[in-house]
């Protein structure tokens, strides 16, 4: 059974996100710690992230919430926090759009300053950061170490937003003269993680890690295009859910995923969740 679960998790990881690096920059330069983005949340033992945007609320990708449920746990700033409720966007369409969800916590997080929601719609051309504990590799070969094998090593990388339209922002993994000093993209295991910037006012989150786009030989190879859910587009929905009552929640969200990620079935889900959920 353990081998079956690991196979399922490996299949799942390749539909998600993580950090893949330039081949001509050492891994050590990509290494990160919690101070690089204190608001980072982690849902499972081998990845899947979110961002604390309010003392009681975390924003993440809808597809990453397959094992998120009331009274399960998430880690923020090295501490285990208890989940109260999940709110999945009702228009979430796997592989296309609206890949976003909010997670409400039982108790407010008081030891971490929440990241701010990016308020403007001028994302195109901005250099952003992202961070996570997922799989890794370089742009030459793509991801060669999956999120399970990475064993929680935290990395960060840069990229430039080439498109900000409607509910999506996009960027491409460049190399050589066209690449940023710590250019990188997502791979396996960091779905839901942030695209963020740091300003004089603190950290601001612009996007939520969703998926790669188009055809590709392997996750994380040079030239691959990545898609994130665009926070500024979803700001009205986020605000309504956070400030709304039960009726608002029922009208504007779903309490769980209606479609499971590839590689996971209703039959295998309980064992997978038992294997990867954070334990208190």
**What is the DSSP code string of 227-265?**
EEEEHHHHHHHHHHHHH--HHHHHHH-BSS-SSPPTT--
- Here the CATH number for the domain that contains residue 162 is 2.40.10.10
Distance in angstroms (rounded) separating the CA atoms of residues 81 and 72: 9
pLDDT at 18: 56
Look at 136 and 226; give whichever has higher pLDDT: 226
- Label residue 16 by pLDDT band (50, 70, 90): very low
pLDDT at 2: 39
Q: Which residue has the tokens 């996007």?
A: 207
Highest mean pLDDT among 17-31, 96-110, 256-270: 96-110
Distance in angstroms (rounded) separating the CA atoms of residues 206 and 117: 7
Task: Give the 3-state secondary structure of residue 214.
Answer: coil
Instruction: Share the mean pLDDT of the chain.
Output: 91
Burial of residue 36 (CB within 10 Å: 0-12, 13-18, 19+) is middle
- CA 114 distance to own-chain centroid: 16
Is the pLDDT at 53 greater than 50? The verdict is yes
Highest mean pLDDT among 28-32, 149-153, 190-194, 210-214: 28-32
Give pLDDT tens digits for 213-272: 987 778 899 999 999 999 999 999 999 999 999 999 999 999 999 999 888 999 999 999
Q: Which residue has the tokens 């081949």?
A: 23
Distance in angstroms (rounded) separating the CA atoms of residues 139 and 263: 25
Q: What residue numbers bound the domain in which 87 lies?
A: 2-276
Is the pLDDT at 10 greater than 80? The verdict is no
Is the pLDDT at 12 greater than 80? The verdict is no
pLDDT at 3: 35
pLDDT at 9: 43
Quote the number of domains for the chain: 1
Task: Give the 3-state secondary structure of residue 64.
Answer: helix
Mean of the pLDDT values across residues 32-48?
94
Nearest one of 135, 54, 165, 51 to 100, comparing CA atoms:
51
pLDDT at 148: 74
Distance in angstroms (rounded) separating the CA atoms of residues 66 and 163: 28
Is the pLDDT at 117 greater than 70? The verdict is yes
Mean of the pLDDT values across residues 47-74?
97
* C-beta separation of 193 from 203 below 8 A: no
Mean of the pLDDT values across residues 173-202?
92
* C-beta separation of 104 from 85 below 8 A: yes
Calculate the CA dihedral of residues 207, 59, 45, 225 and round it to 10 degrees. Answer: -20
Distance in angstroms (rounded) separating the CA atoms of residues 59 and 87: 10
Percentage of the chain with pLDDT > 70? Answer: 93
Over the range 86-95, which residues count as b (16 or more CB within 10 Å of their CB) and which as e? bbbbeebebe
């Amino acid at each position: 059974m353990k081998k079956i679960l690991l196979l399922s998790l490996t299949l799942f990881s390749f539909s998600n996100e993580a950090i893949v690096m330039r081949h001509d920059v050492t891994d050590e330069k990509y290494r990160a710690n919690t101070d690089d983005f204190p608001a980072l949340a982690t849902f499972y033992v081998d990845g899947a992230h979110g961002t604390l945007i309010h003392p009681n609320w975390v924003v993440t990708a809808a597809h990453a919430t397959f094992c998120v449920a009331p009274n399960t746990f998430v880690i923020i700033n090295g501490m285990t926090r208890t989940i109260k409720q999940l709110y999945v966007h009702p228009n979430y369409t796997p592989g296309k759009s609206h890949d976003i969800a909010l997670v409400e916590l039982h108790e407010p997080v008081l030891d971490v300053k929440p990241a701010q929601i990016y308020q403007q719609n001028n994302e195109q051309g901005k250099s952003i950061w992202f961070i996570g504990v997922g799989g890794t590799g370089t742009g030459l070969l793509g991801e060669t170490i999956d999120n399970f094998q990475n064993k929680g090593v935290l990395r960060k990388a840069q990229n430039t937003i080439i498109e900000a339209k409607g509910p999506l922002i996009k960027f491409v993994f460049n190399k050589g003269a066209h690449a940023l000093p710590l250019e990188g993209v997502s791979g396996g295991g960091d779905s839901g993680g942030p695209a963020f910037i740091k300003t004089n006012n603190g950290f601001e989150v612009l996007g939520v890690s969703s998926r790669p786009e188009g055809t590709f030989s392997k996750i994380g190879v040079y030239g691959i295009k990545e898609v994130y859910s665009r926070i500024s587009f979803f700001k009205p929905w986020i605000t309504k859910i956070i400030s709304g009552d039960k009726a608002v929640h029922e009208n504007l969200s779903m309490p769980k995923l209606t479609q499971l990620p590839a590689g996971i079935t209703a039959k295998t889900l309980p064992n997978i969740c038992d294997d990867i959920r954070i334990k208190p």
